[in-house]
């Protein structure tokens, strides 16, 4: 985890020139919530990552036109949810951010959101501008590149973030049966008092 903290610290140092109006000085130095990019969700609402402060989140990156791996990312997050108690599930939030802001507008996000019947109280599909995609991908350790056919080659991972935006765990094990170590980390994070 030290590598992630170091990478995040370096990225945040490089991004120091960005407007930080929505970011509290009280956030930990290794918080992803220090990124001040604006995101737009499937309902057209704007938000920043720091707006999710206090919530345990699974975060992943995907794109709506992906036919193979990205649906599996959604299934993997659902698999984690299904392995939780109803009380734990109610406290876990899922954020999927598009790697393809040129095509993934709120309407495209909403179409996937509705097709997959995702719960609006806990799941958010979002987009941000290309520079914000690059910053978030760097923080989460997601590597990606566009391909000539409009697809993306990308790391497929679920990243667990605590209420202060710190990375607690990650898994690249996809499927409806969750990675046991990652599931244990999710349960441990949800067991801590919110705040």
Per-residue pLDDT in tens (0 to 9) along the chain, 195 residues? 444 444 444 444 444 444 444 445 588 888 999 999 999 999 999 999 999 999 999 999 999 999 889 999 999 999 999 999 999 999 999 999 999 999 999 999 999 999 999 999 999 999 999 999 999 999 999 999 888 888 887 889 999 999 999 999 999 999 889 999 999 999 999 998 765
Say which residues have a Cβ less than 8 Å from residue 117's Cβ, sequence separation at least 6: none
H or E element that contains 150? none
CATH number of 154's domain:
3.40.30.10
Say which residues have a Cβ less than 8 Å from residue 100's Cβ, sequence separation at least 6: 63, 64, 65, 152
pTM: 0.85
Domain that holds residue 45: 2-191
Structural domains in the chain (count):
1
Q: Which of 130, 182, 135, 181 is nearest to 161 (CA)?
A: 182
Distances in Å between the Cα of 88 and the Cα atoms of 8, 92, 181, 184 are 28, 7, 17, 12
- How many CB atoms sit inside 10 A of residue 1's CB? 11
Check if the beta carbon of residue 183 is closer than 8 Å to that of residue 55.
no
């Amino acid at each position: 985890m030290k590598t992630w903290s170091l990478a995040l610290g370096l990225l945040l140092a490089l991004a120091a020139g960005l407007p930080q109006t929505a970011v509290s000085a009280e956030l930990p130095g290794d918080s992803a919530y220090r990124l001040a990019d604006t995101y737009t969700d499937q309902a057209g609402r704007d938000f920043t990552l720091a707006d999710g402060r206090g919530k345990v989140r699974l975060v992943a990156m995907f794109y709506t036109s992906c036919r193979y791996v990205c649906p599996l990312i959604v299934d993997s997050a659902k698999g984690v949810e299904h392995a939780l108690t109803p009380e734990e599930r109610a406290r876990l939030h899922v954020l999927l951010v598009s790697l393809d802001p040129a095509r993934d507008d709120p309407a495209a996000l909403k179409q996937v959101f509705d097709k997959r019947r995702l719960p609006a109280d806990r799941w958010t599909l979002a987009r941000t501008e290309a520079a914000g995609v690059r910053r978030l991908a760097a923080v989460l350790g997601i590597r990606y590149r566009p391909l000539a056919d409009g697809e993306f080659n990308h790391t497929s991972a679920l990243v667990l973030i605590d209420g202060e935006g710190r990375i607690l765990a990650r898994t690249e094990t996809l499927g409806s049966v969750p990675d046991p170590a990652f599931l244990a980390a999710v349960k441990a994070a949800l067991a801590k008092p919110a705040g």
